[in-house]
Amino acid sequence: MTDVGITNNIRELRAANGDMTQQELGKLVGVTRQTVNAIEANKYSPSLEVAFKIAKVFGKPLEEVFQYKK
């Protein structure tokens, strides 16, 4: 896989929310731990639905969780 143009703050948000694991986040949004890992590592861009679900888990607007870099 190659790096994508979307970056994120998921790792920091998980840490700030009681050291939430990738597995826990995955269960909350309906994806695997491996998918959360790939998204965090900027190796995979989530679907809009998954991106919105992740933002909702942390109570943040989408643009505070994900950023687009050219």
Of the candidates 70, 69, 48, 62, the residue with the CA atom closest to the CA atom of residue 10:
62
Question: What is residue 5's predicted lDDT score, i.e. its pLDDT?
Answer: 84
Q: Tell me: pLDDT of 4 over 80.
A: no
Which domain range does residue 39 map to?
6-68
The answer to the question of residue 50 being in a domain is yes
Bridge partners for 66 per DSSP: 8
Please give the pLDDT value at position 2: 53
- Across the range 37-56, mean pLDDT stands at 96
Residue 31 sits in a domain of what CATH number?
Answer: 1.10.260.40
Instruction: Look at residue 1 and tell me if it is in a domain.
Output: no
Residue 49 lies in a domain: yes
Neighbouring C-beta atoms of residue 24, cutoff 10 Å = 15
Q: Is residue 58 part of a domain?
A: yes
Does residue 13 have a pLDDT over 70? yes
Give pLDDT tens digits for 28-46: 999 999 999 999 999 999 9
